[in-house]
Structure formats: C-alpha cells, structure tokens
Structure 1
Amino acid sequence: MKYRYAFVLLLGIGACSNPAKEAPAGTYYDLESYLEQQISQLKARNPTVVKQAGFGKDQEQQTTKGIDWSRELDLFLQADINKQAYQSSYQKNRPDSLTYEYRLKAGENLPVQVLRVELDSVTHQPRLVKATLRTKNSLYESERNLWLESEQGVIKRYHIDGFQRLAWLDEKRFLIEGELKE
C-alpha cells in the first residue's frame, strides 16, 4: 500500500516538472500561436505555391496547391522557444518596439540559437520571422536557417536552408523555398 502512495507521489512530481510545458505568458514572443493560426488559414485558402526544393546539387521547382502546411512549416514551429525549460536560456533584445530578438546564452545547449521576430507597424503581426537551429553531437551535426515573410498578417514567402553531416560522411546541403500566389 505504501508503494502505491510513493508511486502516485512520483507521478505528481513528474507531472509538475514537464520541460515541454509552456513558459509564463510574455516570457518570449508567442510564435506558436501565430504559426498555428497561419496554418489554419493556409489550409482553408489552399493557395498556389511556387516551391523550390533541393538536396545537395539536385534542385527541383514546381507549382502546386497540394501542400501539407503543418508539415511544411514544422521547422518554424520548432523555432518556438516559449517552453518553461527554456525560460532563462535566452538573452532578450528589443532593438525597437516592433522587434523581438532572442539569442541562446553561452553554455546552453538548445537547438534554437537565434530567433528574431519583426512586427508590421500597422497590423502588429509578424512581417519577418528568422531563426537558426543547430544540433551537434559526436555522430551528427545539422544547421537550419529559416525565414518567412508576411504581408498584412499573411505568409507570402518562406525559406529554409542548411546542412546535415554524419561524422564519417560529407556535408549535405538542402534548400526549401516557397512563394505563395493568390
């Protein structure tokens, strides 16, 4: 019986220390909410996209309406730093009232190195989101540089480039770009 109470207590403690839990409101810019709203609108509008994708030297361009927006913008969602575990991991900088910039503090080991959000002066929605994500361990290294541009609160262009490298293989570069046409 006393083991049951200990187990329940451990479950309660574990639930209180969930590192993926959201940070308190206002800690960092709420990128996730903005992107989720954009994904919902893009699914409803189903815009035509001129998309370029490449891995290594192979590049391909296509015009399509068949985009899974949750998947397409997933790396941007990964750039959201509003998690309780990240609360004190970033230096905040506000160069002006419309710009949020966060840089990973020295000694921290998180994938999002830099996140910059510039708001439109009229709509106060992001007009530019830029981020650098980096992962490195003894077997694998990758870097992803992303940006997206919005006009009047609607995503118009996005770009992802970077590289992946396994310890014993050469670096492989990749690129994804999209421009939305109405």
Structure 2
Amino acid sequence: MKLKNLVFLLSLMLFGCTVGQKSEPIRTGTYFDLVELLDEQIAKFEAEKPVLTKELNVSGETDRVTIQLDSAKQWKEELGLFYQADINKLGLETSYTTEELSTGVNTKKVIDSAKNERPAVRSIEYNYTDDQLVSIRIIIRDKNPIYKFEKELNLYFQNEQGKSILSSFTISGDQNMILKDELSYSLKATIGK
C-alpha cells in the first residue's frame, strides 16, 4: 500500500503541474511555418482590434454575423482549422515533398504535397507575387469505413507596407457519414476595420 501511495505521489509531483493544460505538440520546422505566420497575424489583430464578418452556408442555408474578437485566444479559435493543418508536427518531417513553380512574371507557388495517403493534409500551396505571400490553399482529406470528408482552407493576404497581412479566409467542405445525409458547408470571413 505504501509503494502504491509513493508511486501516486511521485507521479503527481512529476505531472501534476500540467494537469488540465493542453501541451503544445513538438514542431520540427521542416516546412513553411504556418503556425508562426498565424501567431504574427493574431498579434497584429489583438493590437488593432479589427472586426470579423463571417458568412456561413450549410446545405443551402446562409447566416451572416459581424463580431469583434477581444483576445488572441478567440482569434486562435476562429483560425483553429488552419492551426490544425500544421505539417511541422513531429513524425511528419519526411511525409511531404516541396516544389517551387514559376506561374508567371514575378509570381510563383510553393507546394508541399503528401507523399502517401496517410496524412490528412494532402497539400499546402503558397502563392507569391513579387516575393510577397498573397494566399495559402490547404487541401485536407480523410476517410475510413464510417466517414469521408474533404476540406479546402484558404487564407488571403494584402500587402501593407511590405508585409503580408491576413485580410480574409474561406473554409469549404463536404462530409459523408454512414446513415447520415451528405453535408456541404462553406464559410467566408473578412477581416476589416
């Protein structure tokens, strides 16, 4: 009994400080740092307090709302799917190939593509004009015997004083589950003064 209590006390001392807290995943830095980019944008939004206008369409029904977010936590929740699409997580460092393509005069795209079907994030495409980031497109697919879903996430940037500033984002997708109707949805969000 004493040994059991000692083990419990020792584990409480070692892990007790993190109980109830969500730990950050280990990140590798192998690919473009989407999390760092989002954190920089959120820091700017937290200081400037822009409004966020969202238009959500679910299976043909549309709802529109304008809100002002007060904290970095609220912004992270709004951009949660983009954070989840981070491919710099431990274990994914060899899962993608990166290629750079010229798409015209002063424009290019960099694409991280999954090498196999295992990662849900199939590809991330970064579009640049004059070496300035103008958009990011993320394709996510996952399926198993019970469900199948596909999402497309987009971030759009404006050039402000030589910096790419997030101005809008979209999320769209389709979801199929056994014994349920197919669900189609799209979200358009604009960040403004």
CA contact (8 A) 2:152 2:172 kept: yes
1:98 CA displacement: 4.9
Equivalents in 2 of 1:71, 1:157: separation in Å? 15
1:79 CA displacement: 1.6
Residue 9 of structure 1 corresponds to none
Equivalents in 2 of 1:46, 1:135: separation in Å? 35
Q: Which has the larger radius of gyration?
A: 2
Structure 2 gap segments, 5+ residues each: 1-6, 8-24
Aligned CA RMSD, in angstroms, stands at 2.1
Equivalents in 1 of 2:189, 2:180: separation in Å? 29
1:72 CA displacement: 1.0
3-state SS of paired residue (1:150): strand
Structure 1 gap segments, 5+ residues each: 5-19
3-state SS of paired residue (2:76): helix
1:133 CA displacement: 0.9
Q: What does the per-residue CA deviation read over 1:101-140, in whole Å, with 9 as the maximum and x for residues that have no partner?
A: 011113x311101101123526x4x321110111211112
2:145 pairs with 118, 138, 143, which one?
A: 138
Q: Structure 1 segments of 4 or more deviating over 4 A?
A: none
Residue 160 of structure 1 corresponds to 171
- With the length of structure 1 as denominator, give the TM-score of the two structures: 0.78
* Identity percentage of aligned residues: 25
Q: How many residues align?
A: 159
1:149 CA displacement: 0.7
Residue 39 of structure 1 corresponds to 42
Match runs of 1:1-182 below 5 Å: 20-23=25-28, 25=29, 27-66=30-69, 68-96=74-102, 98-106=108-116, 108-121=117-130, 124=132, 126-152=133-159, 153-182=164-193
CA contact (8 A) 2:109 2:126 kept: yes
1:143 CA displacement: 1.3
Equivalents in 2 of 1:150, 1:89: separation in Å? 27
